[in-house]
Structure 1
Amino acid sequence: MSLTTQFYTMIAMIGMGGVFGAALDTYHRFLKRPDRSRWIVFIHDVLFWVVQGLLIFYVLYVVNFGEVRFYIFLALFCGFSAYQALFKSYYVKMLEFTIKLVIAVYRFCRKMFQTLIIAPIRWIITVIIVVVIGLAKFIYRLMYGLLKLLIAVSKILLSPLSLLIKIIWKLIPKAIKKHLIIYYHKLAGVFEKSKNTMIKVINRWKRKK
């Protein structure tokens, strides 16, 4: 390995040590260990260390084709220590600011979405429902009024016919009236039997179905 490659490797590993420190602080900020179960924390820890190891090895492979030397670990430790001593406080502040900024932007976008899209849709749906209910009530009242008017007109038109039937009924001899009443009861009995038969047939069909 040439001196130039060794120099690049040292610089890259120092940088990766700093990146690892920043990633570790970011990981702890979002993980919130006290609020998580132990097995979840364990799985996240394993995944974090695997990802960091793969990332460091990838950078090492790009710089010197993956040759591992003792000074690489020293360079990583120096980069991590430099981050902890010089940049950690600034990075943590920047991270918190970024998180607050993202949350504020998200809340603003959500509020704008609710104001510009959700609220008009709700208003349109409410107006449609009110209009439909109003039309239904209007149609119901109109039909009810027409039905009452039709019944009143029918009573007026049929009253002379009813009066004529009563007069004719009074003029019919009693003997004929008795026969008519007997025929009426017979017809009523026939209709009642037919009705009962139809009901039985329908019930049997429903049971078979």
Structure 2
Amino acid sequence: MTLTTQFMTMLSMISMGVLFGAGLDTYQRFLKRPKRKGWIVFINDILFWLLQGLAIFYVLFLVNEGELRFYIFLALLCGFAAYQSLMKNVYVRLLEMIISLVISIYRFLLKLGHILIVAPLQMLFTMIITLLITIGKGLLVLLTSILKLLLLIVKIVFLPVKWVGQILWRLLPNRLKKSVEKLYNKLEGYLQTIKEYVKKQIAKWKKKE
């Protein structure tokens, strides 16, 4: 391994140590350990360390074809220590600023989407419902008016028939009137009996349910 390669390896591993420190702080910021279950934290920790190890080995492979030397671990430790002592506070503040900015943009987009999309759709839906209700009420009023008019026409048409029937009823003999009244009373009694029977059957059916 040439001196140039060794020098590039040292610089790369110091940089990876710095990136590892930044990645660890980022990971801790988003993981929120106290709020997570133990098994979730355990799996995330394994994945984090695995990804970090693969990233370091990949960079090492690009620089010196993956040769491991003792000074590589020292370089990683130096980079991590430099990050902790010189860059940690600045990076954490910058990370919080970026997170706040992203949250603000996200909330702004939500409000904008509500104003441009959701609110017009709600207004349109309300207008359609109101229009349908108004049309329905209008049709109901129209239908009621038509039915009242038809009933009035029927009453007017059948009024002479009623008068003729009353006159004919008065002209009928008393014996025939009594026969008709008896027949009417019998029919009314039959209908009342059928009505009571139907009520009892309905009551029994409801009890069975």
TM range (shorter): 0.7 to 0.9
SS in 2 for 1:96: helix
Equivalent residue letter for 1:58: Y
Moved over 6 A (4+): 181-192
Whether 2:94 is the aligned partner of 1:110: answer no
Residue correspondence of structure 1 range 8-157 to structure 2 within 5 A: 8-157=8-157
For 1:162, the aligned partner's letter is: K
Separation (CA, whole Å) in 2 of partners of 1:57 and 1:41: 24
> How far off is 1:94 after superposition?
0.8
What amino acid does structure 2 have at the position aligned with 1:37?
Answer: K
Task: Supply the distance in 1 between the matched residues of 2:146 and 2:63 (Cα, whole angstroms).
Answer: 92
**Corresponding residue for residue 206 of structure 1:** none
TM-score by length of 1: 0.83
Q: CA RMSD in A?
A: 2.6
Q: Secondary structure at the match of 2:67?
A: coil
Structure 1 residue ranges without an equivalent (≥5): 193-209
For 1:146-168, what per-residue CA distance to the aligned partner results, in whole angstroms no more than 9, with x for missing partners? 21122122212211111011212
Instruction: Give the TM-score of the pair, scaled to structure 2.
Output: 0.83
Q: CA deviation at 1:178?
A: 5.9
> Could you tell me which residue of structure 2 aligns to residue 5 of structure 1?
5
AA of the residue aligned to 1:4: T
d(CA) in 1 for partners of 2:83 and 2:108?
34
Structure 2: unaligned runs, 5 residues or longer: 193-209
**Structure 1 position 184, deviation (Å):** 6.9
Q: Is the deviation greater in 40-49 or in 114-123?
A: 40-49
Q: Take 1:174 and 1:62, find their aligned partners in 2: how far apart are those partners? A: 125
Deviations 1:21-75 (A, max 9, x none): 0001111111112222222222211111111011111111111111111111011
Which whole-Å CA distance do the structure 2 matches of 1:109 and 1:189 have between them? 76
Most deviating of 34-43 and 106-115: 34-43
